[in-house]
Amino acid sequence: MIRSFRIPTFFFKIETTEHNKQSNTVVDFHMKFKRIVIHVSFLWVDAMALFPFILLRRKSPSTKLINHECIHLRQQLEMGLLPFYIWYFVEYLIRLVQFRKHYLAYLHISFEQEAYRNEDDLEYLETRRFWAFLRYM
């Protein structure tokens, strides 16, 4: 189901999806919870997961990018939003001291390591273990 609505000066398209193995759509695969995909043209990154939302800069994201963000949604669901973002931020600061460059610090965050290493595997979320990001610490 696609619903559109106006927010002052910005136009969003929202697509809500549920798990459906028969679907061929880019945003509807291997998740057992609802999520809402929102196109946000002014987003400073390609995509961002803020449970239950996936914010996308482009209207036609790759399956790989959606899978990457779905991995983050699962991480957020497991930990809870506040603990997830506290952990993410603290680990980012530690990595920033360690690598002294923003992008290297970002790439070495355990949540990002898990998402990047498994974004090509569309079956990953079906077999992923609880708190799997710990393997990437």
Question: Any idea where the domains of the chain sit in the sequence?
Answer: 2-136
Q: What digits encode the pLDDT tens for the residues 38-91? A: 999 999 999 999 999 999 999 999 999 999 999 999 999 999 999 999 999 999
What backbone torsions phi and psi does residue 40 show, to the nearest 5 degrees? Answer: -130, 95
Confidence (pTM): 0.76
Q: What digits encode the pLDDT tens for the residues 60-69? A: 999 999 999 9
Using alpha carbons only, give the angle 16, 22, 27 rounded to the nearest 5 degrees: 35
